């Protein structure tokens, strides 16, 4: 299996041209319209090095998907029988004829096997080539493109070709036409300083949460702490027992560094027992671990502090992924030599708070990446992604500036889901605010245009769609698509320590690591009882049909010039099934 960092290194992949020494006619493989908001700066320097990744077909992938379906269904006799690394690699391995055809083609261009990097399953081949050579092999021209809003610069093309005889042997090559980038959800937009005095969690005037028997300190309505979330989600007093077998991971991109000193201040403030403990750091694709205080990242600090603070003392890992624009013409992109998910022992829960508009990702690439997530799920890993911060819109937190148009040159008005949250093999986490909880007005949700709704969603999502007045948002969304989010959690007023001071921060990027931490605690309970980790979560969540969750029935998340969808009884595309009741869920998952 090969996914190398939940989002940063998705955007690397690669080329095509002739084979067997003799030139062959090239056949157009993919062509796209110039994407919106990207300006052509001219030809890319011919000596600039591109790490091209070639995806070989996986003829046995349907078998992998069948295994995943069975082991993720809590009512199936195989529930929890996760596959081994070797099992997964065998199921995604390409046919030998594809391996030979691709290497013959590469060798015809002077690229020897020793210069290629193959994933353990052999389903990806990576080569580093200068632009001039890649252009010749792919029958294309790479150009520099600049994003008009944030100034990022990418080297991409709008089309590429391959020899016709390679059609059945190469599924895709990137980075060619993929203009998507790992964009953080809008923590920085919900950023405000707060007093250095921690809120009291000892008030006698508790808020009662109707129907749950839970009471919460009133200060949690203005400042969210680890204590608040444990109170609200019924996890007070739970002590992890399987810390030698269980683990959680958080991912970081865009030079977001999780600062050790900030974490210690956070622990002293909210989790005193954790003071002195830390986390492992794994560097991917040129990622760094800069500990200069002014280089600390608010997103990274948020993820690590709440992900590890809630699940303490469960061991934690931070994956720091490099590859951030802007493009520097005379600098080679660092080669990705670290494949953390190839290890036999990988964290049972991984949370990611980065995504991009689904439509910016070529559909074949999105499906291939989504399949990589299925491989992790089959190995017993729960993948959680924040659902976005633009309601039904394009991820822009300000509804007034959202651009909800298709990226195919037709400029049709559409709701814009995010990827990877739209992948059916991950669990998407939306946002709530306040106590009692209501939907956050920025909580991302909607329906994929790339992925059909999976069978485990049919009943819950079908019921929601049937409740919509006829014609509601007709043509603006795909009613047959995979629906998001699946669940939700608190997503604003989080008290973290950033660059040495206490601040408030928020966004669904706060909800995802928090929810992931409670999943880590559920895994702890199962592992301590001799059971396997939960793995791919969504089939279990939909099988429970809301049992073990606080249903959120108030609020909405506007976008694209509309009020968006409403939070309603049962599942809805704003908060999913709602927020977790850890105590109830723990009792439930111990029965399977």
Q: For strands 214-216 and 280-284, give the pairing.
A: unpaired
- CA distances 284 to 85, 227, 288, 295, 317, Å, are 20, 33, 8, 18, 13
Phi, psi of 311 (to 5 degrees): -90, -5
CA 438, 185, 287: angle at the middle one, nearest 5?
Answer: 145
Q: Give every strand in the sheet of 354-357, ordered side by side.
A: 183-184, 354-357, 418-419
Q: Are 219 and 202 in contact (CB under 8 A)?
A: no
114: Cβ contacts below 8 Å, ≥ 6 apart: none
Name the token pair of 147. 């994003």
The residues carrying an active-site annotation are: 299, 303, 509
What's the CA gap between 486 and 546, in Å, rounded? 10
Q: Tokens representing 336?
A: 């990705």
Output b/e per residue, 116-145; b: 16+ Cβ within 10 A: bebbbbbbbbbbbbebebbbebbbbebbbb
Q: Is 276 assigned to a binding site?
A: no
As given in the structure block, the two tokens for residue 438 are 């209501």
Neighbouring-strand partners of residue 252? 320
Q: Which residues share a beta bridge with 497? A: 502
Alpha helix (H) residue ranges in 157-239:
226-232
Tell how strand 159-163 and strand 549-550 pair up: unpaired
Kindly state the tokens that stand for 6: 């939940």
User: Measured between alpha carbons, how far is 333 from 330 in angstroms, rounded to an integer?
Assistant: 10
Are 367 and 358 a contacting pair, CB within 8 Å? no
Residue 530 contacts by C-beta under 8 Å, 6 or more apart in sequence? none
Has 280 been labeled as part of a binding site?
A: no
Q: Do the beta carbons of residue 568 and residue 576 sit within 8 Å? A: no
Residue holding tokens 């997503």?
Answer: 491
Q: Report how far residue 551's alpha carbon sits from residue 443's, in angstroms, rounded to the nearest whole number.
A: 15
On whether 552 is known to bind a ligand per the annotation, the reply is: yes
Alpha carbon distance 179, 13 (integer Å): 12
10 Å CB burial of residue 178 (0-12, 13-18, 19+) is buried
Neighbours of 171 (CB within 10 A): 21
Q: How many Cα atoms sit within 13 Å of 583 on the Cβ side?
A: 13
- Label residue 159 exposed, middle or buried (CB < 10 Å: 0-12, 13-18, 19+): middle
Binding residues for Ca(2+) are: 551-552, 570, 572
């Amino acid at each position: 299996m090969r996914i190398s960092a939940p989002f940063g290194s998705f955007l690397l992949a690669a080329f095509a041209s002739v084979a067997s020494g003799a030139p062959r006619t090239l056949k157009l493989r993919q062509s796209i319209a110039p994407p919106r908001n990207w300006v052509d700066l001219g030809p890319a320097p011919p000596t600039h090095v591109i790490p091209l990744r070639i995806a070989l077909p996986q003829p046995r992938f349907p078998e992998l998907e069948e295994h995943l379906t069975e082991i993720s269904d809590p009512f199936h006799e195989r529930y929890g029988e996760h596959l081994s690394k070797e099992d997964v690699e065998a199921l995604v391995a390409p046919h030998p004829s594809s391996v030979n055809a691709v290497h013959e083609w590469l060798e015809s261009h002077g690229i020897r096997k020793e210069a290629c990097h193959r994933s353990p399953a052999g389903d990806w081949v990576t080569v580093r080539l200068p632009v001039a050579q890649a252009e010749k092999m792919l029958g294309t021209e790479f150009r520099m493109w600049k994003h008009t809003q944030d100034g990022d610069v990418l080297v991409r093309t709008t089309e590429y070709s391959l020899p016709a005889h390679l059609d059945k042997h190469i599924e895709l090559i990137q980075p060619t036409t993929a203009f998507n980038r790992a964009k953080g959800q809008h923590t920085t937009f919900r950023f405000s300083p707060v007093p250095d005095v921690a809120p009291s969690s000892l008030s006698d005037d508790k808020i009662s949460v109707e129907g749950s028997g839970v009471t919460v300190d009133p200060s949690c309505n203005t400042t969210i702490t680890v204590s608040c979330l444990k109170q609200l989600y019924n996890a007070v007093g739970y002590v992890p027992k399987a810390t030698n077998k269980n683990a959680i991971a958080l991912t970081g991109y865009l030079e977001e560094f999780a600062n050790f000193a900030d974490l210690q201040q956070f622990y002293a403030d909210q989790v005193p027992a954790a003071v002195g403990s830390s986390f492992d750091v794994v560097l991917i694709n040129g990622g760094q671990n800069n500990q200069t205080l002014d280089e600390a990242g608010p997103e990274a600090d948020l993820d690590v502090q709440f992900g590890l603070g809630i699940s303490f003392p469960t061991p934690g890992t931070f994956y720091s992924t490099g590859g951030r624009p802007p493009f520097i013409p005379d600098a080679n992109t660092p080669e990705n030599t670290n494949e953390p998910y190839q290890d036999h022992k990988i964290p049972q829960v991984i949370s990611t708070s980065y995504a991009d508009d689904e439509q910016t990702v070529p559909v074949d690439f999105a499906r291939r990446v989504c399949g990589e997530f299925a491989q992790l799920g089959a190995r017993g890993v729960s993948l959680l992604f924040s659902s976005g911060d633009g309601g039904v819109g394009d991820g822009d937190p300000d509804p007034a500036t959202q651009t909800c148009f298709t990226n195919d040159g037709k400029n049709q008005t559409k709701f814009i889901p995010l990827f990877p949250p739209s992948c059916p093999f991950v669990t998407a986490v939306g946002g709530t605010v306040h106590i009692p909880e209501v939907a956050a007005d920025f909580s991302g949700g909607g329906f994929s245009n790339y992925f059909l709704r999976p069978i485990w969603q049919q009943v819950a999502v079908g019921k929601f769609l049937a409740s919509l007045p006829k014609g509601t948002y007709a043509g603006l969304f795909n009613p047959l698509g995979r629906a998001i989010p699946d669940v939700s959690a608190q997503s604003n007023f989080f008290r973290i320590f950033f660059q040495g001071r206490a601040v408030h921060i928020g966004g669904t990027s706060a909800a995802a690591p928090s929810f992931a931490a409670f999943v880590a605690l559920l895994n702890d309970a199962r592992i301590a009882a001799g059971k396997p980790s939960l793995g791919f979560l969504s089939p279990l969540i939909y099988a429970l049909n809301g049992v073990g969750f606080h249903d959120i029935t108030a609020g909405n998340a506007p976008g694209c010039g509309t009020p968006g969808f409403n939070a309603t009884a049962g599942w809805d595309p704003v908060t999913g099934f709602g927020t977790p009741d850890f105590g109830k869920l723990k009792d439930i998952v111990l029965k399977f």
